[in-house]
Structures are given as C-alpha cells and as structure tokens.
Structure 1
Amino acid sequence: MIAMQYKILLPDSYDMGIIRERVKNNGNKTDGFQGLLFKAYLISEKGEFGNSKNEYAPLYVWQDEQGMNEFIFGGFFDNILNSFGWQNINIGITMINDLKKNFITSKFVVEIENAIPETKQMKALKFLSNFENDTSKLLIYNPDKWNCVEFHFFEEIPEAALNLKVYRLLHLSM
C-alpha cells in the first residue's frame, strides 16, 4: 500500500469554514474511488488543540499505484492545483495498517513524525506511541527521507495527545 498526503498551509486569517464547506460538498466524490483504501479529509485550525497554523492535509492510502496515478494525472488533483496552487505530495509506504471495525467512527487524527536513525542493521518499524481507545492506527515510512509517521485515529482526543499534532477528520472516503 502507498500513502500520500499534501499539506496546504493557509493564512492565520483564513476562514476554515471554506474548507469545511468544500469537504461537505465534494468529500463524497472520492467515496469508492478505484484503488483507494481510504481518504481522510483532515484540517487543523490555529489555536485548536494547541495547533499553531491553519492547514488542510488530506491523507490517502492506496491499495496500489494505479488508483493514485489516476487521481494525480487523471484530472482529479487539478482541483487542488486550481484552488491552492502547486503542492508537493508526500509519499510513503504503509508498514502497519491497523484499521479496526470502528474506524469509520473516527473524528480526530493525531500525527507523530519520527526520524529513522542510521543503523547497520535494519529492523521492522513499530509504533513508538501507544494510546488507549484509538479507532485505528497507521504507520507509514519514507526511505527517501528516512522518516516515519504514525497516524492514530480517535472518536475523542485523549488528553495525552493534546500536545501533539491533532487534526479534525471532516470526512472519511472508503
């Protein structure tokens, strides 16, 4: 599986209601998209949960490259380009995909980025963070940048996560 995410930084004064409305009106367009395991429409708002900026950061997990290629080059990503300009897309490989039955009830996502240290012997990556009551979790790595990112999904944000990067999940396409 391949994960991709673009993070669109928005001005502090940006009305995040615009993004909420955009997702409300268009989020279902990726429901059932070919090769898409899921797309989580994520936002962070400056001041909420300690977030320092406004951001729109959709997270996709693809079953293979065909659906991802269709999304990027088949005209769908053009909507992002036309609305927000040229965006870098972070790409990673899914190491652990622990989607639980209650995944669809998720309302929040915590993102934790970690460096993968230089070593002489590679070992499988594992979660460095442990939370109770998560609805699912995902571990993605990028050997080009030697980093890994944990995504923990929740119905309610645990207190232990309030000093971390927290997103609201506006819509989940499957």
Structure 2
Amino acid sequence: MHALQYEITLPADYEMDVIRRRVRSKGHLLDGWPGLGLKAFAIRERGKDGSTVNQYAPFYLWTDHEALTGFLRGPGFQGLSDDFGRPAVRNWHGLAHEHGPAHGETPRVAERLMRAVPEGGDTATTIDLALDELRAVVREPGVHSAALGLDPHRWELVRFVLRILGVPGGSEGEQRYEVLHLSQGTTR
C-alpha cells in the first residue's frame, strides 16, 4: 500500500464551490479504478474547523504502485496540473489500513496527523505505538477507516482518519478536512 496527498492552496477569496462542482462532475471517474484503494476528495475552507487557508487536498491509498504511477502520468492528473499547476505530491509507505465500525457509511470528515519519528529513538517502538493508536482510533464510533504511513526520507508518520461526522477537539497539529466524495477502487 502507498499513501499520497497533494495540497493545492487557493487564494483567500477563492470560491470553494468551484472545487465542489469540480468534484461533483469528475469525482466519480475514479470509482472502481484498478489498483486504487481509496481517494478522499478533501478540502479545507478558510474560517472552518480552524483552517486559515482554502485548499484542495485529496488523499489516496493505492494498492498497486503501477496504478499510482499510471495515475500520475495520466490525463486526470495532467488536467489538474493544467488548471492549478503541478502540485508537489507527498507519499508514504503504507504501514496499515483498517476499516472502522462505520465503514459502510459515507465519510464526510477527514483528519490528518503528521509527526516526526524522533532521531536517536527506537524507530520500531515509535511505529508500534502509532499502530496501537491507529487500532484504538479505528474502533471509535463513526470511523469509516484509518491509515498509517511512513515517509523514511523525512522520518515522519502520517495518520489519516475518515469519519462520518467530525468530533470536537483533536490532537495538536491535526488538520481537518471536509470530504466531498470518496472513490474506492478495485484490486488488480
């Protein structure tokens, strides 16, 4: 499994309904995409859920690296690049992906938490603790699914959680997103 995300930060006065319409008209094109685990079409809107920016920031889980590469080389990603500029794409090696009790429902909220793997510490223990935290989160009511990934270049972990409803609070450094559409692919 591979996780990736790109963030397209838009002007402060950008009409986010443009993105909503774009997702409504094109989001379904990735439904059933071979080699895609899921794509959460996610946005952050300035002034909502603590966001200071308008941003389109979809998150992907790929089950097949060739499908991921094909997507980045394909017309859909080229169209996005033509419209907004080619974004930098963050990627993580997938460590875990688990379904929660609300997996059959439509997620409306996403949370992303990134944190460093401390230098000089025990990497395996840090990852094991993050996996334990993921397993605890995924059992919470309203959780659709959750994933954990590792970027060994930056030595950073990412946890991404999809929920059917938002929950108050959150961890320090957590980013919250509105999920406009969820595409789920097929296994190759």
Q: Is TM > 0.5 for Structure 1 vs Structure 2? A: yes
1:115–1:162 distance in 2 versus 1, CA, 3 Å: closer
For residue 135 of structure 1, report the CA deviation from its aligned partner: 2.3
Where does 1:7-156 land on structure 2 (aligned, <5 Å)? 7-100=7-100, 102-103=102-103, 104-119=105-120, 121-123=122-124, 125=127, 126-127=130-131, 128=133, 131=137, 132-133=140-141, 134-156=143-165
C-alpha distance in 1 between matches for 2:63 and 2:31 = 14
Q: Give per-residue Cα distances to partners, 1:78-104, cap 9 Å, x unaligned.
A: 011111012111111111111236334
For residue 12 of structure 1, report the CA deviation from its aligned partner: 0.6
SS in 2 for 1:12: coil
Figure out how many residues of one structure are paired with residues of the other and give that number: 174
CA contact 2:41–2:182 (8 Å) conserved in 1: yes
What amino acid sits opposite 1:122 in the alignment?
T
C-alpha distance in 2 between matches for 1:43 and 1:27 = 13
1:44–1:120 distance in 2 versus 1, CA, 3 Å: closer
SS in 2 for 1:102: coil
**5+ residue gaps in structure 1?**
none
Q: Give per-residue Cα distances to partners, 1:45-93, cap 9 Å, x unaligned.
A: 0110111111100111111211111101132210111110121111111
For residue 119 of structure 1, report the CA deviation from its aligned partner: 2.7
1:165 to 148, 155, 175: 175
What amino acid sits opposite 2:159 in the alignment?
E
**5+ residue gaps in structure 2?**
none
C-alpha distance in 1 between matches for 2:114 and 2:156 = 7
CA contact 1:109–1:154 (8 Å) conserved in 2: yes
C-alpha distance in 1 between matches for 2:163 and 2:52 = 21
C-alpha distance in 2 between matches for 1:98 and 1:61 = 12
Q: With structure 1 as the length reference, what TM-score do the two structures score?
A: 0.92
1:23–1:162 distance in 2 versus 1, CA, 3 Å: farther
1:120–1:100 distance in 2 versus 1, CA, 3 Å: closer
Question: Once superposed, what is the RMSD of the aligned Cα atoms?
Answer: 1.8
CA contact 2:102–2:164 (8 Å) conserved in 1: no
CA contact 1:137–1:150 (8 Å) conserved in 2: yes
